[in-house]
């Protein structure tokens, strides 16, 4: 689930944080270490102009600490824009815990991580991400109030994955409307790359609408399980990007749209849940535009999860969660039209709107 693989051989000569290409004026980077529990974590706080930095905690067996740092920098930056473009009064943050979630995660480790979160006094609010479960957030909640995505039994909004998937589905329908003239996905072929919690929920929505769903994942058992459950076709080819489908939905790794894949992509629409899908935002966004591929910006359409956990902070219920998530459809159409009208990439159009909201609030704060 790593956002981008970096060449660590080129990094030993530069400053560890400020010299990173992914560093984008982040306000604060916190390195957390606890020998007793084995915790090694990094919290990235990108921007708090609109509000406290909210973003999930990801536990992953990174190849090295450079990779973990790069991931948290890119992900926290994306959270700033995700909250801004969705109209939430939140900043952008993210955390990564280095380790195997299946074998190294313990209640003690999660509580110790929660203590580090608490030490930031609410500047960063954590939530569930890859390698985490709602039960883990419940453990963190035992030591700090600065956590969302706790179980419904404990007064939380629960697992955000189904809402994330619904937002991606709405964004996909909007992109289809823009490209094909209809948002009805019946008989449209969609390849879903990555069928974790969000990917499976997306498969369910697509199946219910009558789409021709193809699934791809590195986990063979998971492929068979989801295929049996929804009747999806398992992809058995060698190059998922060159598959002749209508829609490509990346829902696992980031940076899958890169120099090695972009010329092979035959889909007419890209709309998925993965973060940081463009390896190089400017270069690859422009290449998609030149190819006539409609790209639904990831930080816009995968915002359902943060809408879900934001409900815990603002005390609104499921009805309002669904209304805000459904509105991703309208925002996506606006972004796509804006991009065409201003002759910019869809990613840039979304980024401009998000950054504009942050800049406006910053001026207001300075003049207050």
Residue from 122, 170, 128 nearest 146 by CA: 122
276: tokens are 């940081």
Are 124 and 117 in contact, with CB atoms under 8 Å apart? yes
SS3 232: coil
Q: What order do you get walking across the sheet with 269-270 strand by strand?
A: 233-234, 212-216, 189-193, 247-250, 269-270, 294-295
Are 115 and 39 in contact, with CB atoms under 8 Å apart? no
Residue 94 appears among annotated catalytic residues: yes
Active-site residue, selected from the candidate residues 40, 82, 94, 188: 94
> What DSSP string describes 157-195?
----HHHHHHHHHHHHHHHHHHHHS----TT-EEEEE--
7-44 b/e (C-beta count within 10 Å ≥ 16 → b)? eeeebeeeeeeeebebbeebbebbebeeeebbbbbbbb
34: tokens are 């606890």
- The catalytic residues are 94
């Amino acid at each position: 689930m790593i956002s981008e693989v970096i060449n660590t051989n080129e990094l030993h000569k530069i400053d560890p944080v400020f010299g990173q290409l992914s560093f984008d004026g982040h306000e604060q980077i916190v390195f957390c270490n606890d020998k007793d529990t084995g915790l090694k974590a990094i919290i990235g706080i990108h921007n708090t102009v609109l509000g406290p930095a909210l973003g999930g905690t990801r536990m992953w067996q990174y190849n090295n600490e450079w990779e973990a740092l790069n991931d948290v920098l890119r992900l926290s930056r994306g959270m700033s824009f995700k909250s801004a473009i969705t109209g939430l009064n939140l900043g952008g943050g993210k955390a990564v815990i280095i380790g195997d979630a299946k074998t190294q995660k313990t209640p003690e480790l999660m509580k110790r991580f929660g203590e580090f979160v608490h030490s930031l006094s609410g500047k960063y609010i954590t939530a569930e991400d890859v390698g985490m479960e709602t039960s883990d957030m419940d453990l963190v909640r035992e030591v700090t109030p600065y956590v969302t995505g706790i179980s419904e039994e404990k007064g939380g909004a629960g697992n955000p994955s189904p809402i994330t998937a619904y937002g991606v589905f709405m964004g996909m329908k909007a992109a289809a409307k823009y490209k094909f003239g209809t948002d009805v996905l019946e008989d449209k072929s969609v390849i879903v790359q990555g069928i974790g919690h969000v990917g499976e929920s997306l498969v369910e929505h697509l199946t219910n609408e009558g789409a021709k769903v193809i699934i791809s994942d590195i986990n063979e058992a998971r492929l068979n399980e989801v295929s049996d459950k929804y009747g999806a076709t398992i992809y058995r080819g060698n190059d998922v990007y060159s598959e002749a489908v209508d829609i490509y939905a990346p829902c696992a790794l980031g940076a899958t749209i890169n120099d090695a894949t972009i010329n092979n992509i035959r889909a007419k629409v890209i709309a998925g849940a993965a973060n940081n899908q463009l390896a190089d935002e400017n270069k690859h966004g422009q290449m998609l535009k030149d190819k006539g591929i409609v790209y639904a910006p990831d930080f816009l359409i995968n915002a359902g999860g943060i809408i879900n956990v934001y409900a815990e902070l603002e005390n609104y219920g499921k009805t309002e969660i669904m209304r805000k998530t459904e509105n991703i459809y309208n925002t996506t159409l606006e972004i796509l039209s804006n991009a065409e009208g201003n002759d910019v990439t869809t990613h840039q159009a979304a980024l401009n709107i998000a950054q504009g909201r942050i800049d406006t609030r910053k001026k207001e704060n300075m003049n207050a």
